[in-house]
Amino acid sequence: MVSGASIRRNFLRTRLIVACLVCVVSVVAILASAQWWRQRAEDQLQNKAAETLAVQAEALSGILDKYRLLPPLLSREASVIALFQPGAGDQKDAARRKAIEIAGMSGAKDVAFLYPDGRLLATAGELFSGQGEEHKRLLEEQRAYAFAFGIRSDNQLIGVIAVYVDFDTVEAAWSLSTNPIFVTDNAGTVFLTNQPQWRLKPLDELMSKAGSSAQVLVDGKFLHADLTRDLPLLDWKLHVLSSERSLVVAWWTGAAIAGLVGLLFALIVFIFVQQRETQHLRMRQDRAAALRLERLVRERTKALSESNVSLSREIDERWQAEEQLRLTQAELVQATKLATLGQMSAALSHEFNQPLAAIRTYSENAVRFLDSGRTRHVSDNLTRINRLVDRM
């Protein structure tokens, strides 16, 4: 029979083998699950970025279309044409008031009226530096994009109206998004973005490929693939990036879930192995107890058999003793009977001998008395003989 120590050694080897298999399966499952979760998160991230790109592209196109159509419409207004007519009085003040009015109603960043040679007539804001009628230049760090249209009178170009687009509201709306969003011009410079540190920087300086085609390194940070959409009207490109953090979180989430499932599976397997070991040990103990009981029963049976044989022999001896006793008793009874008969016969003999002897004596005396003629004495002896006979 297999010993308990051997069973424990066998199950220890089983545990080690199961532990190795569970570790291998768990590692494979963790990697597969983590990759599946990452791929799922990447697809969701891609879809979300694509939706953000589509929405922001439409919003930006709508804003640009509004400002693009505004200068042609304003160039036909008589009040705007009158600003460039000779003898219109204080043209600068009138033009400034008109520019402020247009900027306030349209929400433009600035509205400027210029002469055909490029000299500035008036602006609504303080987008430009410089004084007088010389050419103006943008203030430092200022960004501006304008839609311009010529103002004509009698088919002659008399001026230009320029409406500068207000991108601050666009960037304010983009700042609510968790995705980095930016616009590059045809030179590859970041013109609009919700990342202030990227403004007016070359895209090549910010971005480089990293790891795989699905990742880019922007400003020292790993981000998801760059999704772009062309804005052909302005020769711009709208870019939407996604944070790599959500993919990392998804990877670790998948790994953690698979790890927990693997841990639960390992726990179930080890509990099953432990139960099997306990069952085998219990079966061995039961078999050992059964063998001990069988040996004990065998020994007790042997002892009982020997006792039965001894008892049978004793019974036979007792029976023989009783039989001998009965024979002895019968012999004693017989001897007693014979002794009693002897005693009785002796007593009877004695009882009979005395009267017989007396009868003999009396009869002999009677004969002698008869011979002597003493008949009276003969009669007396005969009488006594009669009494003795009656007695006997």
Secondary structure (3-state) at 38 = helix
Nearest to 45 by CA among 278, 315, 300, 226: 226
Average pLDDT for residues 264-291, to the nearest whole number?
79
More confident residue, 284 or 142: 284
* Residue that has been written with the tokens 């007695």 in this structure: 391
Average pLDDT, the chain: 78
Asked if 162 and 114 touch (Cβ cutoff 8 Å), the reply is yes
Give 3-state DSSP helix, strand, coil % of the chain, rounded to 5: 65, 15, 20
Q: Tokens 């705007």 appear where?
A: 80
Confirm if 229 and 237 have CB atoms less than 8 A apart.
Answer: yes
In angstroms, rounded to a whole number, what is the distance separating the alpha carbons of residues 153 and 82?
Answer: 9
Alpha-carbon gap, residue 1 to 12, rounded angstroms: 19
At residue 226, the pLDDT reads 63
Say if CB 49 and CB 240 are below 8 A apart. yes
- Please determine, for residue 279, whether its predicted confidence score (pLDDT) is greater than 50: yes
pLDDT of 269 over the 60 cut: yes
Is pLDDT at 42 greater than 50 in this prediction?
yes
Q: pLDDT at residue 232 above 80?
A: no
Q: What does R_g of the chain's alpha carbons equal in angstroms?
A: 72
pLDDT band with cut points at 50, 70 and 90 for residue 367 = confident
pLDDT tens-place string over residues 77-104: 888 888 888 765 567 888 888 888 888 8
Are the C-beta atoms of residues 195 and 240 closer than 8 Å to each other? no
Three-state SS at 200: coil
Mean pLDDT of 110-136: 71
161 contacts: CB under 8 Å, gap ≥ 6: 71, 74, 75, 80, 111, 112, 113, 114, 148, 149, 151
- What is the pLDDT at residue 1? 54
Residue 143: strand, helix, or coil = coil
Q: Residue 9 pLDDT more than 80? A: no
CB within 8 Å of 73: residues ≥ 6 apart: none
> What confidence category does residue 2 fall into, taking pLDDT thresholds of 50, 70 and 90?
low
Q: What is the mean pLDDT of residues 308-318?
A: 83
pLDDT tens digits along 322-358? 888 888 888 887 877 877 777 777 777 777 777 888 8
Beta bridge partners of 164: 110, 146
pLDDT class of 160 with cuts at 50, 70, 90: very high
Q: Name the percent of the chain lying above pLDDT 70.
A: 85
Segment 200-229 mean pLDDT: 62
